[in-house]
């Protein structure tokens, strides 16, 4: 499975830990995030992740910034992307089960690192339920 990951300066530590965790599990991960704690603009690191998911170069994306909000808003500008801002594993499970989320947005300043790793595992291990949820998810994209 291919996963793309991106982060700003607030998520660097989390990104490195998640990368190590995913690679140990055998996932192929493309790193678009900054490797520094120096201030950067999150869209520069989130758009490539969303583009990979949008073009099916990656099965899933993980994005990390301080609040998770800016990264999440940026990713959701891409067609076919359903990025979910999550702060615990229960929200992550519902985002996958009910919304078929394909990008997980993690708020680094509001989650502990072990919690973030647990959220990533839940995200990758949880399937979309389809059924009544599919009709709703199918209504998300705007056709012009």
Catalytic residues: 65, 98
Residue 109 DSSP one-character state: G
Residue 55 DSSP one-character state: T
Angle of the 89-99 helix axis to the 113-125 helix axis, nearest 10:
20
Q: Which residues contact 136 (CB under 8 A, 6 or more apart)?
A: 98
Report in angstroms the alpha-carbon separations of 13 from 5, 10, 136. 13, 8, 36
Work out the end-to-end distance of the chain between its first and last CA atoms, rounded to an integer number of angstroms.
32
How far is the C-alpha of 111 from the C-alpha of 128, rounded, in Å?
A: 24
How far is the C-alpha of 25 from the C-alpha of 132, rounded, in Å?
A: 32
């Amino acid at each position: 499975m291919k996963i793309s990951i991106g982060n700003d300066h607030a998520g660097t530590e989390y990104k490195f830990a998640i990368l190590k965790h995913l690679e140990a599990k055998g996932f192929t991960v493309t790193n678009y995030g900054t490797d520094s704690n120096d201030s950067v603009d999150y869209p520069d690191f989130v758009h490539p992740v969303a583009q990979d998911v949008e073009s099916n170069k990656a099965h899933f994306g993980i994005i990390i910034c301080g609040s998770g909000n800016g990264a999440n808003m940026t990713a959701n500008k891409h067609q076919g992307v359903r990025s979910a801002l999550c702060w615990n594993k229960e929200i992550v499970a519902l985002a996958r089960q009910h919304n078929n989320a394909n990008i997980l947005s993690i708020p680094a300043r509001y989650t502990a690192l072990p919690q973030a790793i647990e959220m990533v595992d839940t995200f990758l291990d949880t399937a979309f339920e389809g059924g009544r949820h599919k009709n709703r998810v199918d209504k998300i994209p705007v056709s012009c």
